[in-house]
Amino acid sequence: MRKALKIALIIVSVIAFITLAGVLLYRFFIGSRIQDEGRMENPDAYRAGKDLVEFKWRQNHRNYYSSFSLKFYQENDMPLLTGWFPSQSGGDEIRESQTDAFSNPIPWQLTWVQWFALQNVLAESELPAYRKPSSDSYDEVDSEIRIVWRTDDGDEAQTLSGSQAEALEALVLGIAEEAYAASKLETEQREVRETAALVGIYWEQTASSARDCFSFLLDERTLPSRAEKQMLFSYRYQDGDGKPIFRQNIAVEPEKAQACFSSIRQELRALDLPVYHPSTSPDGAENSCICATWQDGSEVFTNNYGGLVGPFFVCGLTEDSFCSLPPDQMERFKKKFHKAEILLGFRGDEPVTLKVEPKQKNATPEKQRKPPSQER
């Protein structure tokens, strides 16, 4: 009896040990490494009791190359960064994020690993309150940090001093350098599956001739005057008489925007546009980039297509959206662009091109049927 009881206790102990080990392994390998479609680590790996919403750091130093201004924030569930900072890879270059033709920021994209590393360090840092330097002081560093946290009781804002935060500065500038370097890498286009929906389109083209320059932007954003997101349309171009046409942030009805996105989506999926590469022309004569933002389930990504090489589409323009061409214009552009044009160079502002006949698809020769074998 005692022997049976001893064996039973050993079995129960082994099962309990295996169960405990399994729980610990799950918490270590799964709980602290939950992946959100391969992008986001589990924020509960660090239990700060609050989530980072926005982080701004502006530092003015008597040494210009120790000065910077950066903003870390989230948009469409993506961690982003804008601003400027001195190069961290040697040299005296200043890295600065760009803006589009309508002054909207073009941010550098961060990884969630970088975002949560910053969140954890900020939560653990004990920084003093910010105090504006005296106007009589020329040697004092003006370093202002603004943080917005999201807690169970709502958003909490802090204004702190970063003049003595050397470790935090090294982390922040290191993340900024990594984001800048990642933005310069040539990457292949992401696959656009049938389930992906087009949610934003931006097309900017620059050329030596002003009449060949234009910008179009249709996406969902917030404006300083209105907290909730809305679909906005902006455009800039020259009409046939050379008159500049410019409209910015025109509100578009969601149904009309979706109809426009649906039409452009079909065209982009049908066209085989190349990956965008900035122009290498010394005078920047030709540069055209189509930025298409896609959403597939909870995943949002942007593909950058070259707008100068390969097929393209022609559409009309109303006050607040794109539209189809009337039949007469369709015929006109079919005739105009029936032949492909090879750019040979420029004579002043006028491009010199060579028209070539479109390639003819080789007709597949019909297979000759073998004569039926004759039975003997």
How would you label 249-283 residue by residue, b for 16+ Cβ within 10 Å and e otherwise? eeebeeebbbebbebbbeebeeeebeebeebeeee
Bridging pattern class, strands 78-86 and 68-75 = antiparallel
> Band of the pLDDT at 285, cuts 50, 70, 90?
low
- Helix %, strand %, coil % of the chain (to 5): 25, 35, 40
- Any idea which residue has 């298409």 for tokens? 292
Query: How do residues 73-87 score in pLDDT, each as one tens digit?
Result: 998 778 999 999 998
**Hey, which of 10-24, 316-330, 333-347, 354-368 has the most confident mean pLDDT?**
316-330
CA distance 290 to 215: 10
Query: How do residues 34-75 score in pLDDT, each as one tens digit?
Result: 334 444 444 444 445 789 999 999 999 888 778 999 999 998
pLDDT beyond 70 at 351: no
pLDDT beyond 80 at 143: yes
- Any idea which residue has 């961290």 for tokens? 88
Q: Which of 267, 280, 260 is nearest to 219 (CA)?
A: 260
- Any idea which residue has 């286009």 for tokens? 189
pLDDT of residue 331: 83
CA distance 126 to 116: 18
Between 189 and 24, residue with greater pLDDT = 189
**Hey, which of 9-18, 168-177, 223-232, 260-269 has the most confident mean pLDDT?**
168-177
pLDDT beyond 60 at 350: no
pLDDT (mean) for 119-143: 87
pLDDT of residue 71: 97
pLDDT of residue 186: 56
Between 300 and 359, residue with greater pLDDT = 300
Q: What angle do CA 32, 118, 185 make, to 5 degrees?
A: 95
How many alpha carbons lie under 13 Å from residue 30 in its C-beta half-sphere?
6
pLDDT of residue 376: 44
pLDDT of residue 173: 94
Chain-centroid distance, C-alpha 362: 40
pLDDT of residue 223: 73
Chain-centroid distance, C-alpha 207: 24
pLDDT of residue 362: 55
pLDDT beyond 60 at 162: yes
> Band of the pLDDT at 302, cuts 50, 70, 90?
confident
Percent of the chain at pLDDT > 70 equals 70
CA distance 303 to 276: 9
pLDDT of residue 246: 87
- DSSP lists the bridge partners of residue 143 as 59
pLDDT of residue 282: 46
Q: Which of 260, 264, 240 is nearest to 252 (CA)?
A: 260
